[in-house]
Structure 1
Amino acid sequence: MAPAIMMAADKVELSPANTGFMLICSALVMLMTPGLAFFYGGMVRVKSTLNMLMMSFISLGIVTILWTLFGFSLAFGKDTGSLIGWNSDWIGLSGVDKGELWTSAGTTYNIPLLVFFVFQLMFAIITPALISGALADRVKFTAWALFITLWAVVVYFPVAHWVWGAGGWAFDLGVIDFAGGTAVHINAGAAALGVILVIGKRVGFKKDPMRPHSLPLVMLGAGLLWFGWFGFNAGSWLGNDDGVGSLMFVNTQVATAAAMLAWLIYEKIRHGAFTTLGAASGAVAGLVAITPSGGAVTPVGAIAVGAIAGLLCAMAVGLKYKLGYDDSLDVVGVHLVGGVVGSLLIGFFASGKGQSDVEGLFYGGGLTQFWKQCAGVFAVLAYSLIVSAILAFILDKTIGMRVSEDDEVAGIDQAEHAETAYDFSGAGGGAARTAVSSPVGAASKKVDA
């Protein structure tokens, strides 16, 4: 995560303004996970809605505990071999005082360590939740919960250290990832591809209609993601002292708008219509692409990044039908492709006037930064893809990753959660209590169904 520039002073003191700003940003990022749940939940069929919501929500529980116990220490503790961190004082936050300021790479920030901890926690929560969209309709909830647990420890925590932790190899190399193009989106997108290659396709893939059951729910989720993303991106400067956070805020809006328009134009030319699903997907593609690059590019550069990402992601989502992998909700096409595009374009559009003086090819800086970006992008992609596939393979061969074919066809909501998202009978969505009418003149009574 990009380091903030602190004013020269003998002693850095806690800034109430920056602390409050970062707490608000943390809350905005937390809102993104329920937003993602709605976004994904609307894109699946009725019979999978609750399962899709739960696959995001469970991450709020599992990853919070892991991060508190040891995840934060692994990601941001003292470096070991440029691969992982560790700080025993951070185990369960046992050695952290409420007023202790966050210090990293020799810089002390004017926000508490606890604020940085909780801000980064929200990133750790949403990253595995992103993977769930690729696995819709067919994964056991117990297996998914165990996969999240293992994946966070073996993949996310180390990668976060590489990219943002002081001493991490990508951090020291100078790979720019302002808010998560590699650590979040490429990481999640590559993991999604690795898992679906192991567990296989849904029953009826490319044969049965699998259209979104609620496009209004998709648009609501996209809106919540767009809103929360301002905290995700602007907050990653860890304060608002020098205008870089403001640049990132503006670029987030600009790139998202450009990507949405590019996606819709492509869709109209290719398929003859402007769809709401295309608008929502294009917006998310722009958000993904500007996440690593927004602190390095100008607003005009952000338009270019967004438009390129919107076009390429719109083209990429159709690859699953040509190549035969079942990425249910286009996690690979949007998050992996969008993350790669946004990260690599830094090498061309970095202006040298944002978060650092690094210049890309179009600003006279040559290809030096581009090659650094390539190193970060493809290392994270390969590591996450391979390790995620191995984890999925182990789980599939032990406890089994998939529900039975009968349960998949009948509906994973009822099989895994004993509930349905919508009550079409009037009997309730969960373990129903059915009213049984008594004879005329007598009171009705309720019995367990």
Structure 2
Amino acid sequence: MTAPLEDPWPAPRARGAVDAVVTLPGSKSLMNRALILAALADGPSVVRRALRSRDSLLMAGALTALGASVDTDGEDWAVTPATFDRDASIDVGLAGTVMRFVPPVAAIGTGLVSFDGDPYMRQRPIGEILGALRALGAAVEGDALPFSLRGSGSVPGGVVTIDASGSSQFVSALLLAGARYDAGVDVRHDGKPVPSLPHIEMTIEMLREHGVSVDDAEPNRWVVAPGPVKAVDHVIEPDLSNAAPFLGLAAVSGGTVTVRDWPRRTTQPGDALRDLLERMGCSVTLTDDGLTVTGTGELTGIDADLHDVGELTPAVAALCALATTPSHLRGIAHIRGHETDRLTALATELGALGADVTEHPDGLSFRPASLHGATFHTYADHRMAHAGVIVGAAVDGVSVENVGTTSKTFTDFAPFWASLF
């Protein structure tokens, strides 16, 4: 059993160049999509190199409550499809993928399914999905957590128009379940640009691997044809967004960090770290062994539109706060609706460490400043904790409150991180 962590947790300070090779847990985004599709499939399948984290275990628990069998013992998880024939209570925790992906799936069942989660989740947007489900023929009670739906054994499906400018998950949620609706789904977006488009591309690619027909030829429209979801085994890639603090450690310490098994081709937004870190002055090399980043110990600021890769913002912002030239991060108004309002949280916490940071409606600007120690609050947000430990590696006296929130996607992150120093 892991020993309890001190809170706030003293972030280790790099006293020299850190050289390390790390193997990361699997991608939460790929993992929870794979579990959803396995529960909808026409036969048993296996999710290999499974991510064991709070989010993935919450997803497994939700699908089990709907009649699936998910064997979470070991590295490979065997999944038998859900029967969708029972009442259920779903705990979404702090997992946006569980809160948003499971209701469209549960709607095809015959039971009364209720949803609730951690207190903060009651503030995260879900109304677009619930309204879309009503328009598609599902019986839904409520417009935010807690809510419930009563299945009749099928969902008519068809055309639905939503505003997905708040989250790409609104689109992915409907696409993942759409093949099991009587008429499929024809999802149309009407609003400001959809953020995090790589995550929708990830959803589409995985659906096609399961034999589902998806037409995405027209901008802001995604059509899923009705039909079976074939059983397919998945091998889960490392979580490239979780690589951000480790690669950032190379950058701030002037060391070299290799993340093993970095895919040559991927739909994960975390792959953008290669370009971002190179622009900030690091040497970046991708080989068959993995991705290697070497830092100089000095960072150059950047002007970057992170609209499609918003989940990288906390780590990138931490690096910008340490840079020797100004930075501007933009296109990320939507991350105000993530685990916390990440723009305000980052401006507040980095500012408390001495960063010269200005918050904008859709981003953050930084000017060079000398940082100092203080407690860095995480707001129960794993990516905020990543930002805190990056700064702590370069600045004396930084303590990270509730560093254990990293268990959302990386169990035992803190002791693993400390072992690198």
Q: TM-score range by the shorter chain?
A: under 0.3
Relative contact order, higher structure (CA 8 A, sep 6+): 1
TM-score if structure 2 supplies the norm length? 0.27
- Higher share in strand: 2
TM-score if structure 1 supplies the norm length? 0.26
Q: Which has the larger radius of gyration?
A: 1
